[in-house]
Amino acid sequence: MSAATAEAKTCENNSYLDCLLCEYFIATIDRIPFFEEQINAIDKKTENALIIHDREDLVNKKRLLVNYLSRLLCLTEGEIDYEREC
């Protein structure tokens, strides 16, 4: 399962973070389970991370995923306002 789709005709950046940060990245509410799974996986990896840099990297990835998930959940409740936080 992937996070979402890209609106671009070609994808030059195929890494996990490149996709999430791409201006053409589109996340839809049917991808909510993907984001939940990824957050849970990062939580497990964070518990086992021995190097501080690795832990910080995981925390930053989780922040990004949580932000996407939060906005998708707002969409399911019909509360999204792109001018402010929902």
Q: Per the domain annotation, does 84 fall within a domain? A: no
Q: Per the domain annotation, does 37 fall within a domain? A: yes
Q: Of 21, 64, 72, which Cα lies nearest the Cα of 42?
A: 64
In terms of residue numbers, what domain contains 10? Answer: 5-76
Q: Per the domain annotation, does 23 fall within a domain? A: yes
Q: Per the domain annotation, does 81 fall within a domain? A: no
Q: Whole-angstrom Cα distance, residue 45 to residue 23?
A: 28
Assign 7 a pLDDT band (cuts: 50, 70, 90): low
Whether 8 and 24 have beta carbons less than 8 Å apart is answered as yes
Q: Per the domain annotation, does 83 fall within a domain? A: no
What is the predicted pLDDT for the residue at 6?
A: 55
Q: Per the domain annotation, does 58 fall within a domain? A: yes
CB burial string 34-71: b at 16+ within 10 A, e below: bbeebeeebeeebeebeeeeeeebbeebbeebeebbeb
Q: What is the pTM of this model?
A: 0.78
Q: Per the domain annotation, does 86 fall within a domain? A: no
E strand or H helix that includes residue 34: helix 32-48
Q: Whole-angstrom Cα distance, residue 50 to residue 7?
A: 38
Q: Per the domain annotation, does 54 fall within a domain? A: yes
Report the domain count for the chain: 1
What is the predicted pLDDT for the residue at 1?
A: 47
Q: pLDDT of 58-78, one tens digit each?
A: 999 999 999 999 999 988 887
